[in-house]
A and B are shown apart, each in its own frame.
Chain A
């Protein structure tokens, strides 16, 4: 099956610094990638939709200048949390849609990145 990787799996950073999270589709081309955030005991919250070669579409309430998304190739999207604050501590998950699958529009999830801001 399709595999999506994320790096790093865990990161601890100091308040005010920036953190970059990478999401890669390993064995398929992903024209669209999605970034989610999940707080403890809550469901996934879509942050933004990232299309290769174009600007990301952010959900209402998500600051695009704080959460920078770049989708420069068909296999890589990055999320940079700028000027991180403790309230940004969360589980960040990416998913990718295989546009060539020919089947239903399944999203393949990465393993997630646990961000802790101290």
Chain B
């Protein structure tokens, strides 16, 4: 079956750095997405990786290793507004998104 694993919850301190990991097993691979979702709102796109390596976008970076079925989202200089759920999703061979359960990130002052 298809499976996306990410931690349920993480806590970090304002101004610090946090890494949210995601491992996957899917039928085919057409890219990995990270989304941010605040409570009661729809997800918003953060990043996309289809090749191995690191993609940097401001305070957020995303890494992919296809051979290991592994990705992480790195958030730097954490701000209180970064408190949200972070969803990892993989696009499979049918171009459907397979979603992880999300990681709830709690930022403490």
Contact = CB atoms under 8 A, between A and B. Distances in A.
Given A110-B42, A112-B41, A105 B91 contact: yes
Number of chain B interface residues as a range:
20 to 34
Contact of A43 (B40, B41, B99): B99
B42 A112 contact: yes
A68 interface: no
Contacts, number: 41
Interface string A103-118: 0111111111010000
A118 B91 CA distance: 36
Contacts of A93: 42-43
Interface residues of A, number: 19
Contacts of B31: 104-105
